[in-house]
Structure 1
Amino acid sequence: MMKQVLFQFLLFLIFLLHCTTTSAQSPAEAPAAPPPPPSGPVDIITILKKAGNFITFIRLLKNTELAEQINAQVKKSNPGITLFAPKDDAFSDLKEGTLNSLTDKKQLQLVQFHMLPAYYSILQFQTATNPMQTQAGFQFNVTCSDTQVNITTGVDGATLENTLFDNSHLAVYQVDHVLLPLDLFGSASVLTPPKPETSTGTDDTPTTTPTTTTETSDATGPNPHAVASIAFGVAVGAIFPLWL
């Protein structure tokens, strides 16, 4: 009886020791991951520099001090801002000196014409009402085809090529042309005329290459060198048998 009790007690100790060892070896619970750091304030210049190819538009935003205005307005939840950013290639389509010929006020209005005083996603353009009022007070029209958004100003047009930034308060879209307001430029053409296409076809008219022919005339008589060679051969033929 005593042996049975000791045996059961020994089994209990072994079981208790096993539980203690297992608990000590179990890995400690990993601490919860820290929350991601809050994103910094939106800076329109940083957005455009990161995208690249917007040097001219960045310069206009700085010169007109609209960059600071955009950054400040985006901090407000409503109504947000929509910005259309032309690439550097788009400004090269303008006639030389167009930007420099504008007064400071007109440069400001030109940049403001690329701003809508509200946030618009790509889908919201499909239900937008024309004409749309820009930050400059001038208007343009927007048309949509599937996911493509086109803008017409009365002077020129542009197409949204890419979304550079979108955080539901600020939308920045890359456009392929500078938006020219009719109120500033009227019907005057400030766009560089397209270069004439060079013809790549071949002329069907056959071309003849003049050839020069060298005629040898026999009127000058036999070649004296040839006559001498023949005479020498005849003489050798006549003398050779005498040597034998």
Structure 2
Amino acid sequence: MASHLVIFLTLTQLLFILPSTLAQPAAPAPGPSGPINVTDILVKGGQYTSFLRLLNQTRVLDQLANQLNNSNQGMTLLAPTDNAFINLPSGTLNGLKEEDQVKLVLYHVLPKYYSLDDLDTVSNPVPTQAGSSHGSLGLNFTARQNQVNVSSGAVETQINNALRQTFPFAVYSIDKVLLLPTSDAPAPDSSSPAPAGKPAKGPSAPADAGSDSPAKNGGGKKMDMGVGLVGGVVLFCMAFV
């Protein structure tokens, strides 16, 4: 009788344990853990050949891959389409020095992962990889009727589809190249004061400041000759009188 009771209790426990075990979902198979391939993302996009070429020429592609796979903040890339480069004024890229081309590319890279919702409410200006530690060369993002726009100050365009939007890397398509804002340096002021310790140079003094000038002396001699001539005429007239 006791053995039957033990068997009954064992079967009862199995009835409670078995359904809960079957209800648990199977653990997902581990996905690929390789590094993020920026080239593959742009190639699959199908219209970013010019930007990819510029990334390679400036070697920013290698820099981007290294930083991306060693960053806990993630990164965001704004990728101009081929039409964006076609619509640039003729000679825009060829007229840039190598370091300026690098800066232009880095201006399209944000050193942090941003979803579209993040860009909708982000605080401007958003730093870029082209900026300095002082926060220069940032971008401004604004939301207009469920559409996020980005502005460099020189160019404004809307953000289109996301080529990738999974942490730690987001890639968004844009229809214009984000040209850097132009800074007009003020022209040098010729009326600025002379440096300290060096008084401003005034008008040059005459060669011999302590003596009468030749022009002045010549005028005095003419006056003396006139007085002498008048005196001689008076004396001559008095002689006849």
TM-score range for the pair, normalised by the shorter chain length: 0.5 to 0.7
Mapped pair 1:172 → 2:171 = yes
Q: Distance in 2 between matches of 1:160 and 1:41?
A: 26
The answer for unaligned runs of 5 or more in structure 2 is: 1-25, 132-136, 185-241
Question: 4+ residue runs of structure 1 moved beyond 4 angstroms?
Answer: none
Q: Which amino acid aligns with 1:156?
A: V
Q: Distance in 2 between matches of 1:85 and 1:42?
A: 16
Mapped pair 1:132 → 2:126 = yes
Q: Distance in 1 between matches of 2:144 and 2:72?
A: 28
Query: Which of these residues, 105, 110, 117, is aligned with residue 123 of structure 1?
Result: 117
Q: SS state of the match for residue 121, structure 2?
A: coil
Shift of 1:34: 8.1
Q: What pairs with 1:51-200 in structure 2 (closer than 5 Å)?
A: 51-137=45-131, 138-183=137-182, 186=183
Q: SS state of the match for residue 182, structure 1?
A: coil
The answer for unaligned runs of 5 or more in structure 1 is: 1-31, 188-244
The Cα offsets for residues 105-144 of structure 1, whole Å up to 9 and x where unpaired, read as 0000000110111110000112211111111001221101
Moved more, 65-74 or 87-96: 65-74
Identity of counterpart residues, as a percentage? Answer: 43
Q: What pairs with 1:231-242 in structure 2 (closer than 5 Å)?
A: none
Shift of 1:154: 1.4
Shift of 1:145: 2.4
Q: For the Cα contact (< 8 Å) 1:87–1:175, is it kept in 2? A: yes
Q: Which has the larger radius of gyration?
A: 1
Name the count of aligned residue pairs. Answer: 154
Q: Distance in 2 between matches of 1:153 and 1:58?
A: 21
Q: Which amino acid aligns with 1:92?
A: I
The Cα offsets for residues 8-66 of structure 1, whole Å up to 9 and x where unpaired, read as xxxxxxxxxxxxxxxxxxxxxxxx89825424321111110111111110011101111
The Cα offsets for residues 172-196 of structure 1, whole Å up to 9 and x where unpaired, read as 000011101104xx58xxxxxxxxx
TM-score where L is the length of structure 2? 0.60
Q: Distance in 1 between matches of 2:34 and 2:179?
A: 33
Q: CA RMSD in A?
A: 1.9
Shift of 1:153: 1.3
Query: Which of these residues, 33, 40, 46, is aligned with residue 34 of structure 2?
Result: 40
Q: Distance in 1 between matches of 2:92 and 2:143?
A: 30
Q: Which amino acid aligns with 1:66?
A: V
